[in-house]
Amino acid sequence: MLRFLLIGTLIGSTFALGLWAYKINYDSRAAYQRVKELEKSILSANKHFKILNAEWAHLNRPDRLRKLTEYYFSELRLTPINPDDFISFSDIYRGQSSENESTALVDKRLTGITHEE
């Protein structure tokens, strides 16, 4: 009787371990397939990113922007940027307290542009 119980337990545990190994095998294959798909999508995204960077560099070429500025000058009224157009950050708030002022008033004081209220 004990012998049949031992053989039955061994056969049952062998069958259970076989099912477990089968499940692990297919789970690992599915995970490997997901990793391969993610690698493909990463490579595709990197390729797309490089294309977008090249396109951005092409669109922002200084000579191209200069031509567009000249072509649309009358419509956009763009003016060239001069070094005098920039001020340092410390010059913005020197001696001025703008804590209680609204943003529109600070903007008017700094830029000289009046906004509609």
pLDDT tens digits, one per residue of 20-38: 999 999 999 999 999 999 9
Domain ranges of the chain: 2-86, 87-117
SS (H, E, C) the chain: CHHHHHHHHHHHHHHHHHHHHHHHHHHHHHHHHHHHHHHHHHHHHHHHHHHHHHHHHHHCCHHHHHHHHHHCHHHHCCCCCCHHHCCCHHHHCCCCCCCCCCHHHHHHHHHCCCCCC
Q: What is the pTM of this model?
A: 0.49
Average of per-residue pLDDT across 56-63 = 92
